[in-house]
Structure 1
C-alpha cells in the first residue's frame, strides 16, 4: 500500500495532515499547482513500511519555488510580540 501525507501549516491556527490512501502522486501535484494545498510543511510518501520525505521533488514537479521557512508567518510573530508587550505593561 502506498499513500501520501501532506502537512499543511496554518501558523497560529495549527497544522493539518492530509492523509488519503486514494490520492495519487499526480493528484497531490495537481492540488499543489492549483493552489488547493498551500503553506506545505512537508510531504511524505509511505510505501511498504518505509517513509520518504519527497517535499522537494513534489514541489519541483508542481513548478513551485521552494520558499524558506524563516519569516513565513510574520503577522503571527508580530501579534505574539504585541501580546507579550501587553503582558508586561503597567495597569
Structure 2
C-alpha cells in the first residue's frame, strides 16, 4: 500500500491550506460523506503532528500521513490524492 500526492494537488495544498516545509497533514476517517471504499465514511484533512502514523510520505518538505487507527479505511489499497480542475477540489482515488 502506498500514498501518492500529485503535483497539482501539492500546488492546491500550498495555496489553499497554506502548507509550507515542515508542516504535517493528516488524512482521517470521518462518518458520512461519499467514498468508493467504505460506505458511510469519507476522508477529512487536518494540519497536525503525527502520533502513530501507519502510512506517510514527504513531498516538498511536507509530511502527509494516515494514523494507525484510520488505516482500516483503505483496505490495503494504494491511495492517490489529486486535484480536479473540473471540480476545483481535491479528490481521493483508491485502487491497487
Fold shared by both chains (TM-score > 0.5): no
Normalized against structure 2, the TM-score is what? Answer: 0.26
Between 1 and 2, higher relative CO (CA 8 Å, sep ≥ 6) is seen in: 2
Higher relative strand content: 2
Normalized against structure 1, the TM-score is what? Answer: 0.26
Higher Cα Rg, which structure: 1
Higher relative helix content: 1
